[in-house]
Amino acid sequence: MHTTNEPSDTVDTTEPTASRLLKVAAALFREKGYVSSTTREIAARLGVQKATLYYYMEKKEDLLYAICLDSLVHLRREVELALSQQSTPLDRLRTLIRVHICTILFDQNLHLTMIREMRELVGERRREVQRLRDEYEELVRQSIAEAQAAGVLRPEPRAKYQGLALLNLLNWTATWYLPHGELTPEQISELFTEMFLEGALPRGGVLPPASLEKE
Amino acid sequence: MHTTNEPSDTVDTTEPTASRLLKVAAALFREKGYVSSTTREIAARLGVQKATLYYYMEKKEDLLYAICLDSLVHLRREVELALSQQSTPLDRLRTLIRVHICTILFDQNLHLTMIREMRELVGERRREVQRLRDEYEELVRQSIAEAQAAGVLRPEPRAKYQGLALLNLLNWTATWYLPHGELTPEQISELFTEMFLEGALPRGGVLPPASLEKE
DNA sequence: GTCTATAAAGAGATAGAC
DNA sequence: GTCTATCTCTTTATAGAC
């Protein structure tokens, strides 16, 4: 599922400037936000002078645009590849949740920056990134709709609305995940798959007598 | 549940500057982000000169701080008041979801600004706002834990982890809700209550024959 | 309470040498 | 590819009159 790249929180300082630039920018944008991150600080982390950046980009916004594209293209590619290897609608949905979570958490700086900062893009770039995101969300809704059509998910709420719930579950995770916290991305995937599919009520749906409830 | 204030997307221009300031700031911060919003533009929307703002505040960050406090204090007050009027753990959990969603969507500018921009606060203010948020999230986990203890929610995943799922569901909603869209806050509450409690699998948990699945 | 005017700092971006 | 030096613009915030 992943390439051989190292995790997103480390940067090999022997790499050439070009290939380090986006990772350094994504890390900084994630820490301080796009607008508060200065070209001075990006240059400092790269160990070059400010002016050197402009050999690799025309303007600061180029970095954000490249990060957003990278994030969405990569996410879509990973998920579609994984889905193509699953045959049943329910396995496809489980796979979508797992690969989505693992992908955004593996490259957390990239995906969190895309989600939080894409609105700082202007004009056509903003629209293009928004369209890529809309298309990905449509893929999520389709996966739900297929499972409903196969009868393995409840027909109500409709796919569009179950999709809202699932996307809430998936998107917010990037904001609180800590790489060395108590849950691994795999465990978070299992947690959300279980909660999304089965809900929080006891299995069987039969409630115990009210007298057992706390006062 | 709500005060008699008007919805968050309108501002009465006959109100005095002091009481309009936070609403105008929250609306602008929500549209453009805190850092990209200038004191010039806040002043312009209020119909005063830039320097006049400094009669009401010491610095721009005061506005963000006040917005974050307002958001979290108000949310907690609304939810705790509503919870105190419910007697069973399951009703309390349903009420928490409904009142949380309706409160953050009624004052969407305030709550979305808090969620997105609180990290721009520095030092003690940042820590205080983070603490208020942590305390509120603890209230959510406690509500889940009580329902588990009463046997009306599954004991696994533990309250802490079911809480992650529920908070994901609740928090992300403020980022996509449109005041005049196809779902009202009440309908969104019902949707998420149903999805959180019952999940997406068919009721009864019996899957149909695999032959019915789409090819 | 609100204004005009301005200070002081920091931002993104460019010119041109090496 | 990277540097030094600088330009130009915008920002937050303040001084002091009315």
Q: What pLDDT does B103 receive?
A: 98
Question: CB of B106 within 8 A of CB of B49?
Answer: no
Contacts of A126 in chain B (CB under 8 A): none
d(CA A36, CA B139): 33
> Does A187 score more than 80 pLDDT?
yes
A209: pLDDT strictly greater than 60 = no
What lies within 8 Å, CB to CB, of B85 at 6+ separation is: B95
> What pLDDT is attached to residue B12?
64
**Which nucleotides of strand D come closer than 7 angstroms to any CB of the protein?**
1-6, 10-16
Alpha helices of B33-178 — where are they, by DSSP H? 39-46, 53-56, 60-83, 89-106, 108-117, 123-149, 159-176
Residues of A in contact with B207 (CB under 8 A): 90, 151-152
Nearest by CB to residue B196, choosing from A154, A200, A203, is A200
Q: Which of residues 135-174 of A touch B (CB under 8 A)?
A: 144, 146-147, 149-154, 157, 161-162, 164-165, 167-173
- Return the number of other C-beta atoms located less than 10 Å from residue A167's C-beta: 18
Which helix (H) or strand (E) element contains residue A34? none
Q: What is the pLDDT of residue B7?
A: 52
Q: Are A7 and A27 in contact (CB under 8 A)?
A: no
Q: Each residue of A83-141: pLDDT tens digit?
A: 999 999 999 999 999 999 999 999 999 999 999 999 999 999 999 999 999 999 999 99
Q: What is the rounded CA–CA span in Å between residue A54 and residue A60?
A: 9
Question: Considering chain A, what percentage of its residues have pLDDT values greater than 70?
Answer: 88
Q: What is the residue-level pLDDT of chain B in tens, covering all 215 positions?
A: 444 444 545 566 677 888 899 999 999 999 999 999 999 999 999 999 999 999 999 999 999 999 999 999 999 999 999 999 999 999 999 999 999 999 999 999 999 999 999 999 999 999 999 999 999 999 999 999 999 999 999 999 999 999 999 999 999 999 999 999 999 999 999 999 999 999 999 987 555 444 444 43
Angle at alpha carbon of residue A38, lines to A33 and A39, rounded to 5°? 130
pLDDT at residue B194 in the model: 98
Tell me how far apart the alpha carbons of residues B43 and B53 are, in angstroms, rounded to a whole number.
7
Q: What is the DSSP letter of B57?
A: -
Q: What is the average pLDDT value for chain A, to the nearest integer?
A: 92
DSSP for A42-85 reads HHHHHTS-HHHHHHH-SSHHHHHHHHHHHHHHHHHHHHHHHHTT
Show the tokens assigned to B167.
């908070």
Whose CA is closest to B72, among B17, B140, B142, B143?
B140
φ, ψ for residue B12, nearest 5 deg: -75, 110
DSSP secondary structure letters along A2-19? --SPPPTT---TTS-HHH
Nearest residue to B170 via CA among B193, B150, B151, B149: B193
The answer, yes or no, to whether the previous bond of B157 is cis (omega within 30 of 0) is yes
Residues B82, B78: Cα–Cα separation, whole Å: 6
Instruction: Tell me the nt nearest to B17, Cα to C1'.
Output: C1
pTM higher than 0.85: yes
Give the pLDDT confidence score for residue B16 in this predicted structure.
86
Residue B202 CB contacts under 8 Å (≥ 6 apart), including other chains: A151, A152, A153, A154, B208
Residue A59, C-beta contacts closer than 8 angstroms, at least 6 positions apart: none
